[in-house]
């Protein structure tokens, strides 16, 4: 059997908006292949948004719900060497302000036929982080990655956090500089 190649989705092909209370039946049909991520969208995302602790964005391709992403404010502890890579001094505060990708999932059926949606949403998270940094500090994007998605984040330039606090976790703590000297090609 020959598999047909997957089509690439450009960021401008997606319509992204914030989750609302009117989306209950829409999100009930969303399946990404990870039960925890599906359940979070159905049961927790709206409640946490109402409490102002997380914000969830839905992504549509030709009116089909194809992905969601939840973000929240974060701060991570960096080792001295890691801080130097951000041009921060050894004396600066060890915690660095960040935006966390708390959840990111692309629908399993859409993923089987298309690529690029996960990357497009990380690009949106970068833009949100840059926007937030105009009002309060926000230098990094962070994620506690599912083990199966670590390679996806590494391809985008995320690196693992080395502080002892983050070692031995089931979901590795990773970060990406929102303001690198040279932005990666996918983010331009």
Ligand X SMILES: CC(C)(COP(=O)(O)OP(=O)(O)OC[C@H]1O[C@@H](n2cnc3c(N)ncnc32)[C@H](O)[C@@H]1OP(=O)(O)O)[C@@H](O)C(=O)NCCC(=O)NCCS
The residue ranges that bind ligand X (CB under 6 A) are: 32-34, 37, 104-106, 111, 115-119, 143, 145-146, 148-149, 151-152, 155
CB atoms within 10 A of CB 51: 8
Report the distance separating Cα 104 and Cα 37, nearest Å.
8
Cβ of residue 33: shortest distance to ligand X, in angstroms? 5
Cβ of residue 88: shortest distance to ligand X, in angstroms? 26
Residue count of the chain: 188
- Residue with CB nearest ligand X? 118
Residue with Cβ nearer ligand X (117 or 126): 117
Whole-number Cα distances in Å, 159 to 15, 123, 145, 173? 29, 16, 11, 9
Report the distance separating Cα 58 and Cα 86, nearest Å.
31
Cβ of residue 171: shortest distance to ligand X, in angstroms? 7
Alpha helical stretches, state H, 114-184: 117-132, 150-155
- The dihedral formed by the CA atoms of 95, 97, 103 and 105, expressed in degrees to the nearest 10: -120
Cβ of residue 102: shortest distance to ligand X, in angstroms? 9
Cβ of residue 187: shortest distance to ligand X, in angstroms? 12
Residue with Cβ nearer ligand X (116 or 129): 116
Cβ of residue 152: shortest distance to ligand X, in angstroms? 4
Residue with Cβ nearer ligand X (83 or 104): 104
Residue with Cβ nearer ligand X (53 or 108): 108
- Residue 115 — φ and ψ, nearest 5°? -120, 165
Residue with Cβ nearer ligand X (5 or 181): 5
Report the distance separating Cα 64 and Cα 53, nearest Å.
27
Residue with Cβ nearer ligand X (80 or 113): 113
Contact 58, 19 (CB under 8 A): yes
């Amino acid at each position: 059997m020959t598999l047909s190649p997957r089509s690439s989705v450009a960021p401008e092909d997606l319509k992204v908006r914030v989750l609302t209370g009117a989306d209950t039946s829409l999100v009930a049909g969303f399946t990404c292949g990870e039960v925890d991520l599906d359940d979070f969208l159905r049961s927790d995302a709206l409640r946490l948004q109402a409490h102002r602790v997380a914000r969830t964005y839905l992504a549509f391709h030709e009116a089909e719900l194809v992905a969601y992403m939840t973000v929240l404010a974060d701060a991570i502890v960096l080792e001295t060497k890691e801080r130097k890579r951000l041009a921060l001094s050894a004396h600066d505060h060890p915690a660095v302000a960040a935006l966390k990708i708390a959840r990111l999932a692309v629908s399993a059926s859409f993923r089987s036929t298309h690529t690029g949606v996960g990357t497009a949403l990380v690009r949106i998270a970068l833009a949100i982080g840059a926007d937030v940094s105009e009002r309060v500090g926000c230098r990094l994007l962070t994620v506690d990655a599912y083990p199966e998605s670590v390679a996806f984040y590494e391809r985008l330039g995320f690196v693992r956090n080395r502080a002892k606090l983050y070692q031995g976790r089931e979901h590795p703590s990773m970060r990406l500089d929102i303001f690198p000297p040279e932005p990666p090609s996918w983010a331009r």
